[in-house]
Amino acid sequence: MAISEYAFALCALLGTLLVPFFVLYQMLRIKRRAIRVSAPTSTRDEKR
């Protein structure tokens, strides 16, 4: 019984820690994609 409660508490702790990091990772991916998409258009405008 104690081992299952320990495992459950560990899973709950990891879950609560992973959610903010997952959200932060997704936000960074979206920002990186936006920078990557806007970068070629800005270089094209500079060449003109």
CA pair distance 46, 36, nearest whole angstrom: 16
DSSP string, 1-48: -HHHHHHHHHHHHHHHHHHHHHHHHHHHHHHHHHHHHHHHHHHHHHH-
Please report, in tens digits, the pLDDT of each residue of the chain (48 residues total): 788 999 999 999 998 989 889 999 998 888 877 766 655 555 555 555
**pLDDT score of 10:** 94
CA pair distance 36, 28, nearest whole angstrom: 12
